[in-house]
Amino acid sequence: MKQPILFTLCGLMLVASACAISPAFLPALQITPAVASGDVLFQDDFSNPLSGWDRISTPGGIMDYDSGVYRFLIYDPHFNYWSTPRKRFTDVRIEVDTAKLAGPDSNRAGLVCRLDNDQFYFFVISSDGYYAVGRTNGLDSYLLGQDQMWPSPHIYTGMAVNHLRADCVGNLLTFYVNGFLLAQVTDSTLTEGEVGLLAGTFDEGGVDVIFDRFIVMQP
């Protein structure tokens, strides 16, 4: 804060000359950089195994870094694993590349936003060409805007690489695969939380999927 005596001196000198105050007496100006649409908020190519994702091995499956990618290997049927880098956001655009290494084509692999106490939104595809957007509370999952996973010709099947993008902006949830818009739904249940990855099995276990080039941007 400017000292009162400086104002007094300035008042006396004002008639004769302009009053100049030394920058040393001015408070430091705190500037918060503006975050523009498209700015990168977080990114990970999984080359550093200390970047914050889970490293778990259990009888039911594995989540861990593996040769520059992040890998889910799930042995049990009807099971979901998810992992986050411990980064929380409100509105985000998330992108990642994913591919199946082995196991059944009937599977789940995708993105997570607004994870908080095991509640989150998910955006998933399967290796046989289906997709879904939904919300889970950790025990039960609810698809949004559809009653089951729907097929799309824009999803590459088998062991091909798919590029996923999920936008979580306000109550609007948008899902793109390989640059094509597949779903857009609204839900106001969750407003902020962690971002991450998810993989899961249906009737058959042994799903083995990898992720690479994870990026979070300002939408």
Domain ranges of the chain: 40-217
| Cβ density class 52-70: b for 16+ within 10 Å, e for less | ebbeeeeeebbbbbeeebb
pLDDT digits (tens, 9 = 90+) for 114-133: 999 999 999 999 999 999 99
Q: 40-217: what fold?
A: Jelly Rolls (2.60.120)
Mean pLDDT, the chain, as a whole number? 88
pLDDT of res. 139 = 81
Question: Under DSSP, is residue 54 helix (H, G, I), strand (E, B) or coil?
Answer: coil
Over the stretch 26-59, which tens digit does the pLDDT of each residue have?
A: 445 445 456 788 899 999 999 999 999 999 999 9
pTM of the model: 0.84
d(CA 73, CA 90): 29
Mean local confidence (pLDDT), 54-74: 97
